[in-house]
Amino acid sequence: METPSNEVFRDSIATINEEGKRSWIFPKKPSGPLYEKRKVVSYFLLAFLFLSPFIKVNGNQFLMFNVLERRFNIFGFPFWPQDFHLFVVSMIIGVIFITLFTVGFGRIFCGWICPQTIFMEMVFRRIEYWIDGDRNKQMRLDRQKWDAEKIRKRLIKWFIFLIISFLISNIFLAYLIGSDKLLRYVKEGPSEHLGTLIPLAIFTGVFYFIFAWFREQVCIIACPYGRLQGVLLDTKSIVVAYDHKRGEGENGRKKFRKNEDRQALGHGDCIDCFQCVHVCPTGIDIRNGTQLECVNCTACIDECDTIMEKINLPKGLIRYASEENIEKKTPFKLTARMKGYIAVLVILIGVLLGMLALRNDVEARVLRLPGQLYEHKENNIISNVFTYKLVNKTSETIEDVSFKLRGIDGTIKLVSATGEVTVDAQGLAEGTMFIEMKQSAIGGDKKKIRIDVYSGEQLIETTTVSFLGPRSFN
Ligand code: SF4
Ligand code: SF4
């Protein structure tokens, strides 16, 4: 089916030319109130990203995602593999929250919060403006032959980009292996930790490739969240939108002419100055309508508002609005779909809070030693051998740990040189134990027994296990 003529812009993306080659975007430097606000948000988030691996709460790193050792800290709370269910529920909540937010407010996350946009627009692009100048100067430099000026500017820029990419990689490593370990590795020198240095170099290369070359392609081609927009957005979603009713009028947009009565001539308020297109970091023309490439960065809103101000027309020709907003002038309303997402979200948050409240600081697991049944000892004593594992999720050492049988006659003997069990803060203690009981107390070939774990006199955890005995035939 042939694309309608007013939709042909959807046949290709702005960053690829007709020969299928990369079409480099030279966006104009944004300016305006929204850009200033985005700067504040971005610098706050950057400070958060760079500092949180070095912040400690009760001795725990504020945020840590140690996938290799399967240890996670979220807001200073340590999570173990045993808390995986909490992790899964948190992830589902995160996905529903983002979905709900996207249905309501489109790709606002991309423009204001996404690290890709923040690093690209607020760090790398700003360095580029500082070294190469604004859009026109960048285009001229690009066409320029490789003279001393171009070589100098390019080398400085690439070197700074590389340093920042290396810094970002180190921060990611601090999230992955922990900041204490990272600082220790730095102190001991890279030659001592080649196994870490190699992935660090690979990450640096990936970040450099993304921010120096791949850039907006991440949002347009690679990001799965961007791809979701097609199914999540509807005509009620608030997005960065061009008010085509106002901009086009009855007789379309037209270049500005002083002292011309545009209204009388039926022309819209858009003066076809192309500033919204020039400022766009993904190279699109928002006047064509909502497009997958738009990361809601608001640069075109600021730019068009500046133009409107200059020609004495009301601001907001490009603004945050929904399609219905523009077509029917209706205000924002919660749709049935949004209400459904909100209900699910509230329920899941309730479930998560309940699970967090019931979460134990100590986790005990007692398991039968594989391949072992029971041993018949003198005086009709039956013995079973088990392994135990104690996980201490707190930041304090648990001392003087003992195990006691609850409501049943029997003894527990730990296989330990000292007979003492201690679990380090954030640590794990493992060992073997024998449980012995009179055959008469078992009352069959299997009995469920309850084991209490104490620290001194304080009961810290309870677990159950099956005790095996000989089958009785009477
Ligand atoms: S900046 Fe505003 S006036 Fe200029 S082309 Fe874009 S929409 Fe039209
Ligand atoms: S269309 Fe506007 S909001 Fe969307 S990416 Fe371009 S400049 Fe940013």
Q: What is the pLDDT of residues 299-355, one digit of tens each?
A: 999 999 999 999 999 999 999 999 999 998 887 778 888 888 889 889 989 988 888
Ligand nearest to the CA of 316: 1
pLDDT tier at 417 (50, 70, 90 boundaries)?
A: low
Predicted local confidence at residue 11, as pLDDT:
67
Residue 270 predicted with pLDDT over 80: yes
CA 27/CA 389 separation, integer angstroms: 58
CA 469/CA 376 separation, integer angstroms: 8
Nearest residue by C-alpha to atom 6 in ligand 1: 276
Q: Which residue has the tokens 């005086």?
A: 379
Predicted local confidence at residue 195, as pLDDT:
87
Give percent of the chain with pLDDT exceeding 90. 53
Backbone torsions φ then ψ of 140, nearest 5 degrees: -65, -45
Predicted local confidence at residue 159, as pLDDT:
98
Rounded average pLDDT over 126-153: 97
CB atoms within 10 A of CB 185: 18
DSSP per residue over 385-427, as a string? EEEEEEEE-SSS-EEEEEEEEESS--EEEEE-SSS-EEE-TT-
Ligand 1: centre distance to CA 313 (Å): 12
Predicted local confidence at residue 181, as pLDDT:
93
CB 433 within 8 A of CB 412: yes
Q: Cα torsion for 188, 191, 195, 197, to the nearest 10°?
A: 90
Predicted local confidence at residue 135, as pLDDT:
97
**Kind plus residue range of the DSSP H or E element containing 225:** helix 224-232
Rounded average pLDDT over 86-94: 86
CB 270 within 8 A of CB 287: yes
Predicted TM-score of the model (pTM): 0.81
Q: Ligand 1: which atom is nearest the Cα of residue 272?
A: 5
Residue (of 384, 387, 403, 365) closest to 441 by Cα position: 384
pLDDT tier at 393 (50, 70, 90 boundaries)?
A: confident
Predicted local confidence at residue 20, as pLDDT:
81
Residue scoring higher pLDDT (69 or 180)? 180
Predicted local confidence at residue 96, as pLDDT:
86
Predicted local confidence at residue 469, as pLDDT:
87
Rounded average pLDDT over 411-430: 82
Nearest residue by C-alpha to atom 3 in ligand 1: 270
Residue 175 predicted with pLDDT over 80: yes
Predicted local confidence at residue 137, as pLDDT:
97
Predicted local confidence at residue 337, as pLDDT:
81
Ligand nearest to the CA of 279: 2
Predicted local confidence at residue 380, as pLDDT:
86
pLDDT tier at 8 (50, 70, 90 boundaries)?
A: low
Predicted local confidence at residue 74, as pLDDT:
84
Rounded average pLDDT over 223-251: 90
Residue 273 predicted with pLDDT over 90: yes
Predicted local confidence at residue 103, as pLDDT:
86
- One-letter amino acid for residue 377 of the chain: K
Q: What is the pLDDT of residues 192-226, one digit of tens each?
A: 888 889 999 999 999 999 999 999 999 998 998 88
Helices (H) and strands (E) in the chain, counts: 17, 16
Predicted local confidence at residue 415, as pLDDT:
86
Alpha helices, DSSP H, located in 286-390: 299-310, 323-328, 336-358
Residue scoring higher pLDDT (3 or 132)? 132
300 lines ligand 2 (CB under 6 A): yes
Rounded average pLDDT over 370-395: 87
Rounded average pLDDT over 163-180: 96
The C-alpha angle with vertex 181 and arms to 178 and 184, in degrees rounded to 5, equals 150
248 lines ligand 1 (CB under 6 A): no
**Is residue 195 helix, strand or coil?**
helix
Predicted local confidence at residue 95, as pLDDT:
87
Predicted local confidence at residue 194, as pLDDT:
87
- One-letter amino acid for residue 305 of the chain: D
Residue 141 predicted with pLDDT over 80: yes
Residue 444 predicted with pLDDT over 90: no
pLDDT tier at 174 (50, 70, 90 boundaries)?
A: very high
Q: Which tokens is 14 given?
A: 């702005």
Q: Which residue has the tokens 């084991």?
A: 451
CB-hemisphere CA count at 13 Å for 233? 25
Give percent of the chain with pLDDT exceeding 70. 96
For a pocket test of ligand 2, which of 300, 301, 304, 317 has the largest count of ligand atoms closer than 8 A to its C-beta? Answer: 300
Most confident listed range (38-52, 83-97, 98-112)? 38-52
CB 374 within 8 A of CB 382: yes
Ligand nearest to the CA of 229: 2
Nearest residue by C-alpha to atom 4 in ligand 2: 294
